[in-house]
Amino acid sequence: MTYGKNRRLRRTGLWSLLLAFGCAGGDAARDGLADESAVAGAEGPEGTPAAATSPGGPGVTTGVVAGTPPGGLAQWIDEIRTAVDTLPALAEQNPAAAKNQALQLYVGRQEYIEIYYGTTGRAVKDAALAEAVMTAETRFHELLRTVNTPDGSVDTSALAAAASALAAQYDRVLERAAALQLDVDQLVLAAGGTR
């Protein structure tokens, strides 16, 4: 990992998370979120700015964050669910691999769900949706704790329960998105554009 990526991770608060889960320097760190100041000057799809300062003032940004995965809310949740379903079996064979997979899902999907649909709401600002997303964030942290134990072992029944709680919360996220008639198949930014 390069110094620049380490610096970006520290600024985004992911550095401490990656260290806590023992993955700093791994693929999850390389695929992590760029900080918004680094994104502000970058170009997004078809030469459009990757992020722009909103009329809300300095420090309030809108636009697509570097590294945003393809698809939209439904695809990201489906990808998390599919991979999380494999975690108990993986944890039985290789607890470290299960921990790394869970962290990669968190950094590579859950964080983007939070950015676009959580309290900052780059895609939509809705208090009920943000609350559902932030509860999913909490459920994901609970799952991460089950795969990150001091002795390295994983209680697969606790992991399965955490996965079930996360899946149930994602149902609530998608229900609220449906009530708002959001396009969950593609990312549609608050300004009305798609990426």
Q: Is residue 110 part of a domain?
A: yes
Domains identified in the chain, total number: 1
Q: Is the dihedral of CA 180, 182, 188, 194 positive or negative?
A: negative
Q: Is residue 11 part of a domain?
A: no
Q: Is residue 52 part of a domain?
A: no
Q: Is residue 59 part of a domain?
A: no
Over the stretch 33-56, which tens digit does the pLDDT of each residue have?
333 322 323 333 333 333 333 333
- Dmax (CA) for the chain in angstroms is 51
Q: Is residue 130 part of a domain?
A: yes
Name the residue range of residue 195's domain. 68-195
Over the stretch 154-194, which tens digit does the pLDDT of each residue have?
999 999 999 999 999 999 999 999 999 999 999 998 765 55
Q: Is residue 30 part of a domain?
A: no
d(CA 163, CA 189) in angstroms, rounded, equals 29
d(CA 80, CA 114) in angstroms, rounded, equals 14
Higher pLDDT, 47 or 86: 86
**Closest Cα partner for 103 from 76, 118, 75, 84?**
84
Over the stretch 102-144, which tens digit does the pLDDT of each residue have?
999 999 999 999 999 999 889 999 999 999 999 999 999 999 9
Q: What phi and psi, each to the nearest 5 degrees, are found at residue 154? A: -125, 125
Q: What is the pLDDT of residue 61?
A: 55
Predicted confidence band at 94 (pLDDT cuts at 50, 70, 90)? very high
Q: Is residue 99 part of a domain?
A: yes
**Closest Cα partner for 121 from 180, 79, 164, 170?**
180
Report the predicted TM-score, pTM, of the whole model to 2 decimal places.
0.71
Mean pLDDT of 21-32: 37
Q: Is residue 53 part of a domain?
A: no
CA 96 to chain centre: 20
